[in-house]
Amino acid sequence: MADTGGPAHESGLDARVGRLESDVSEIRSILNRLAPRIDEMYGFLTARLPELATKAELTSLRAETRTQIAGVGTEIADLRAETKTQIADLRAETKTQIADLRAETKAEFADVRREIVELRLEIVQRPTRRQSIFDIFAVVGLIGAILTIAARFAH
């Protein structure tokens, strides 16, 4: 078909061109709104990019961190072993001290028991009141008998 340049073909083309112009206009307005943001992001990246770590630096940091964590793990294991040893030593020392205290306490209780037995013997050997009164009467009676005998000899 030959293009005759008639109105039938132009009306469809005009509509399409009109839509394209409208779309391009919309795209331009979107780009105009995005341009400052893109410039802002570009400025931020250019300013910050030198400060950001490289992949090699991150890998090095990761390896260093792993080494340090392994070192901390070793230190913790050493500390745990040292703590266990110290606790075992304290337990042994405490057991020894308790055994010594028990022996001292038993010895002191034996001394106290011995003193109690001696005091009981001393108390038992002391005369009772009844016995003391009886002894006094016996002495008074004996003195009375001696005085009576002396009085008979004297007369």
Single pTM value for the model: 0.41
Q: Per-residue pLDDT for 121 more than 80?
A: yes
| Cβ within 8 Å of residue 135, ≥6 positions away | 127
pLDDT in tens, 34-60: 999 999 998 888 888 777 778 888 899
| The pLDDT of residue 109 | 95
For range 150-155, the mean pLDDT: 83
Q: Per-residue pLDDT for 9 more than 70?
A: no
Domain ranges (residues) in the chain: 11-53
Cα distances (Å, whole numbers) of residue 33 to 20, 22, 42, 125, 143: 20, 17, 15, 122, 144
Q: Per-residue pLDDT for 130 more than 60?
A: yes
